[in-house]
Chain A
Amino acid sequence: MAETIRSLQGQTLPPYDIIVVDDCSTDETAAVAEAAGAWVIRPPKNKGSKAGAQTFALPLVATEFVMALDADTTLAPDAIERMSKAFDDPEVAAASGSVIPRHIRSVWERGRYVEYMFAFSFYKRIQDGYGKPLISSGCFSLYRTDKLREVGGWSNRTLAEDMDLTWTLYQRGSKVRFMPDAVCYPIEPHNLDLMRKQLRRWSHGFIQNVQLHWQGVLGLGYLRSMVSLALWDSIIASIGYLFAIPLLAILVNVAFLFAYVLDAPVILIPVLLSALPRRELGKALASFPSYFPLRVANAVMMLKAAFLELVLRRPFRVYEKGH
C-alpha cells in the first residue's frame, strides 16, 4: 500500500488527491495509507467488492478525471502522464495501460508474465486500432469523472466490474483507449490457490457480462466479434483442449499432443519482441514454459464457470481477492 502511494506521489503528472478506501479492513491498511499521505475513507460496513468500495469514494472526487488503482499495483513514473494523452479526444471516457507483474518468480507469476506480455504487445494494440479494447483493466484505469458518474460508477452486478463498465461505456457511445506506454506493476497470484480464486472471479465475471450485455454488444461490430470468439474459446476450445486432444492422442495418434504447443511460436514472438527493449529476454524465455500450465488452469476454470452460470444457473457472487 505504501509503495503504491509513493509511486503515485512520484508521478511526472501527480494526482490532485489520493483517496484510499479502507473497506473495513482488520489490518494496518488505514494507518499505513494515512502515514504515506493519502486521504483515507471508511464505509460504515464492508462493501463486499472492489466495485462497491470504489463507488463509495466516487462522490468525493472533485476533479475532471479519476483513476482507479488496486492497492497492490505500482506505476511507472510517467504512467499517468502517458495515459492522460488518451483524453485529448473529448469522446474518450476511459483508458487503460500495460500490465506487467511486479514479481516474476513462481510458475504462476511467470505464466502470467508471458500472458500479459503477449496480450499487451499484440492483441490489445489491435483492439485499440479497431477502437474497441475488450476491457479497461480494473487494476489501473483512468476515467472522465462525469462519464463515470453517468453510469453510476463501478457496478457489483458482475464479478468483473471493469469489463461491465467498459462495455457499458461503449453502449453509451463513449470511446475507450488502450495506452501501451502507460505501465503498471500489480502483484499477481503466486500459487495455485490464489490463482484459482482470481481465475474464478474473472471467468464467472466474463460469463456474467455476456449474459448481461449480449444484446447491446451484438450491435457493436468488432466487440461482438471478440466477445463471440471469446465465448467460443471459453467453452468449445476448452473442451477440445482438456478432453478432445488427450482422447485423440490416446485413441488415434500420439502426435495429436503436438496441438498443445502448436501455437507456441505465435505467442513467443511478441513476448520476445516486447521483452527485448526491457532487457528481459532471459526472463521471457525462462518464463515461457509456465504459460502452458496457466492455460490449462484457465481452460478448467472457464469451463467450470460456463457450466455453473449457463447450465446449472448458479451464479457465483462472492468477491474473493487473491491476496
Chain B
Amino acid sequence: MFFVLSALLAVPIEAVRTVRGRSSRAAWMLVTRNAALALVMIAALQLFFMGISAIVRYAAEHGKSPLPKTLPIAPVLMALAVLLTVLLTAKALELALRGRAALRARRGRAVLPTRVPSSAD
C-alpha cells in the first residue's frame, strides 16, 4: 500500500517541481508509468475481489456469500491507519531525537554522532 500511495503521490509532487522548473520529461515518464501501474493494480484488486465474491455467492446455497460484493472499505482504512501510525511514529521519533540533540547541544554535549561511522572506524 505504501508504494502504491507513493506512486500516486509522486504526480502532484512532480507537478510542483514542474512549476518550480525542476522537472524533466524523463521524470514525468517515470512518474506517469508508476502512477498508471498503481491504478491498474488497484483496479485489478477490485476486479479480483468482485470475481471471488461472485463465485462464492454462486456456490452458496441461498445466494449468500460471506464476502461483500466489492472490496470492503473497512480493512483498507485499517491498513491505511496502520501505515500512517508507523510513519508518524518514525517521524515522532526523529523529532524527539532532534529535540534531545538540540537540548544537549545547548548544554554543551552532542548526542548524535557528528559524522556517520564508516567501516574504516
Interface residues of A (CB under 8 A from B): 51, 55, 122-123, 125-126, 128-130, 150-157, 164, 168, 171-172, 215-216, 218-219, 224-229, 232, 253, 255, 258, 262-266, 268-270, 273
A-B contact pairs, 23 of them (CB 8 A): A122-B37, A129-B31, A130-B6, A151-B118, A151-B119, A152-B118, A152-B119, A152-B120, A153-B120, A157-B119, A215-B112, A224-B90, A225-B90, A227-B90, A228-B89, A228-B90, A229-B2, A232-B82, A253-B66, A255-B67, A258-B52, A264-B48, A269-B41
Taking the closest CB of chain B, its distance from the CB of A158, in whole angstroms, is 10
A225 with B87: CB separation less than 8 A:
yes
Residues of B near A171 (CB, < 8 A) are 116
Q: Is the interface of A mostly helix, strand, loop or mixed?
A: helix
Cross-interface CB contact of B41 among A225, A258, A270, cutoff 8 Å: A270
Residues of B near A226 (CB, < 8 A) are 2
Q: How far is the CA of A168 from the CA of B40 in the complex (A)?
A: 35
A218 with B30: CB separation less than 8 A:
no
Q: Is the interface of B mostly helix, strand, loop or mixed?
A: helix
B90 with A265: CB separation less than 8 A:
no
Q: How far is the CA of A218 from the CA of B99 in the complex (A)?
A: 13
A156 with B48: CB separation less than 8 A:
no
A153 with B119: CB separation less than 8 A:
yes
By the criterion of a CB under 8 Å from any partner CB, how many residues of chain B are at the interface?
41
Residues of A near B67 (CB, < 8 A) are 255, 258
Cross-interface CB contact of A255 among B66, B93, B97, cutoff 8 Å: B66
A265 with B44: CB separation less than 8 A:
yes
Known contacts A218-B94, A229-B87, A258-B67: A269-B37 contact under CB 8 Å? yes
B94 with A123: CB separation less than 8 A:
no
Residues of B near A152 (CB, < 8 A) are 118-121
Q: Which residue of B lies closest to A264 (CB)?
A: B48
Taking the closest CB of chain B, its distance from the CB of A271, in whole angstroms, is 11
Residues of B near A227 (CB, < 8 A) are 90
Known contacts A258-B67, A269-B37, A273-B37: A151-B87 contact under CB 8 Å? no
Residues of B near A151 (CB, < 8 A) are 118-120
Q: Judge if B102 is at the interface, Cβ distance under 8 Å.
A: no
